[in-house]
Amino acid sequence: MNKYAPYSLFAVSLLCATPSFADLAQLELASLEYPGEPIGPSVAIPDSFIPVMTPPPLEKQGKWLDDHGVSPHLGLTQFYLANPGVGTDTGNHESLTLFDVGVDVDLEKILGWHGTRLHFNELYVPYRNNLDFGAQAGDVLSSKSSPYIPRVSHLTLFTLEQKLLQDQLTVEGGISNAGNYFALPLCNVGLGCTTLPDAAGANPSPYANWGARLNYQFTPALSAQVGTWRVNDAYPFANGWERGAGSSGGNMSTTYLANVAYRTDFSTTAYPQSYELVGFHNTRDGNDPYYTTAGTAQLSDSAHAPATTNGLNGFYLGLKKTFWRADGGQSKDMTPTALSAYFAGSHVFEEDVPNGIPNQVSTGLILSAPFKSRPYDTYSLSAHWVQLSDHEQKYINAAYRSVGQDYTSPGGEYALELDANLILTRGVVVSPYVMYTWDPINTVNPFDGIAPKAGVSAGFLFHVQLESFLGLDSGMHR
C-alpha cells in the first residue's frame, strides 16, 4: 500500500447543493449557467461570493482585468492537524502553509477565439512541519487528512479549454488532476471523505499529470463526461512539469473515467440535489500485498515474486439532497436554513487493490445557515467507513507477527466527524473538524509492531481567496 496519505487542500465542498453562493441575480454570475461543469481546482475551494456593501479595494482593477480577459487567482491555506488520542504515536500535530497562484485567460476576449480559455495554477508550500504525521496517526481515516508534501513547488493546472456546439461541449487537455472533474466532493469538510483517487489509483490533488476530458451538457443540470489521465505512483516526489515519471522513480499508468452527473442549486430549485455515477479503469499492474506467484505468503517465501494483477476496475456513487428548509421552500432565499443528506461510496472489483481498500463509504447530514446573521455557514455530522481487502488484512497480520507481535488487524475502520465551514467574510473561510475513530488499522507501517489506538483527531483549515477578498474576481467567469 502506498504510504502517502491523500492530499486534502481542495477537499472542502463547493457543490451546488450547499448554500455557499449568494444571490446569483445580484452577482450576475453567467459562468454558473452550467453548475454541473466545474473547471480546475475551483470545484472545491470554499469561496463564498458574499455581496458587500463597501466595494473591495481592487474592484475597479478586477473589472479592468476581466474586461481584458484575465482572471487572477491567489489563495492562502493554512493547515493544522492533531492526533491527541488516535494512532500509533499520539499527541502530535502537523501544520502547513500553502499558496495557490494562478490565472484564467479568456482568449475570446483577447484574440477573438470563441469559447477558448487557458487555465494555470502553481502551488507553493514554503512551510511544512512534521510530514510524518500520517504515520503517527497510523490508521486510514485519521491519516487521510494528513498532506505529505515533500517538495515546495507543484504545477497543479495548465490546460487549454475549448467550448463547442453552442457551448454545450467542452474539450479540455493538458496538465490537471482527475479529481477536479470527477467524483466531486459531497462532504462539508472533506478531510475524511471517500474520494476518487483513493479508489481509482489516480494521483490525489494537487498532484497533476497529463490528461484530457470531454464534457457534454445536455441541460444546465445534466451532463456526461469521459476523461483519461496519466498516473505516477510516486506522486509526492513529482512537481507536475515532468513529461513522464521524471526523476521521481515512479511507475506510470493510465486512468480512464466516465460519469453521468445531475446537479442543481438554490438558484433553480427550492430543494437542490446532486447525483453522480463514475466508472473507472486503471492500467496499473499491481502487486498482491500478501501472496506470491506460487500462492505462498511473501514474508515467508522470498524465492517467488509477488503475485500481480492487470488493471484496476470499479465505480463511485455520490448522492446529495436538500430535504428540509425552515421556510418550507416558499421563499426565493439563496441561503435558507436547510438540511441536506449525502452519501459517497466507492468499490473496486479486484481483491489486490493497490491501496488495500476495495470499499469506502462516507455519509452524513449538513445543516446550512442555522443562524440568519450568518447565512453562509454550514455544519455537518458525518460517518466514514473503510474496509480492507482480505489480502491486505493478511499482509498486516503477517507483518505484526514478523516482529513478534500477536495482533489481528480489524477488517474495517469507522469514524464519526463533526465539522463546520465558517465564512468570516468574502473569500475567508475557517473549517474546523473533530473526528473519533474506532478500530483503527495501521496500514502505514505495520512492521513497527504498534497497535493503533482508537480515539480523537482534530484540526482546522484557514483559507483566504485573495482575489475575492480584494475584489479582483469581479468578472467571476469561473
How large a percentage of the chain has pLDDT more than 90? 48
Task: Give the per-residue pLDDT at 41.
Answer: 45
Torsion sign across C-alpha atoms 388, 176, 473, 101: positive
Question: pLDDT tens for residues 78-94?
Answer: 989 999 999 899 999 99
Reply yes or no: is the peptide bond before residue 206 cis, omega within 30 of 0: yes
- pTM of the predicted model as reported, rounded to 2 decimal places: 0.88
What string of DSSP letters covers 455-470? EEEEEEEEEEEHHHHH
Dist. CA 48–CA 438, nearest whole Å = 34
Residue 460, Cβ neighbours under 10 Å: how many? 19
Structural domain boundaries in the chain: 24-470
Residue 114, Cβ neighbours under 10 Å: how many? 11
Q: What is the separation of C-alpha 275 from the centre of its chain, rounded to a whole number of angstroms?
A: 17
Q: Which helix (H) or strand (E) is 61 found in, with range?
A: helix 59-67
Residue found under cell 455515477: 277
Residue found under cell 421552500: 329
User: Can you give the C-alpha Rg of the chain in angstroms?
Assistant: 22
Question: pLDDT tens for residues 178-233?
Answer: 988 999 888 888 776 777 777 787 888 889 999 999 999 999 999 999 999 999 98
Question: pLDDT tens for residues 322-348?
Answer: 999 999 999 888 889 999 999 999 999
Q: Is the Cβ–Cβ distance between 460 and 80 less than 8 Å?
A: yes
- State the amino acid at position 23 in one-letter form: D
Rounded to 5 degrees, what are φ and ψ at 391?
-70, -40
Quote the CATH superfamily of domain 24-470. Carbohydrate-selective porin OprB (2.40.160.180)
Task: Give the per-residue pLDDT at 123.
Answer: 94
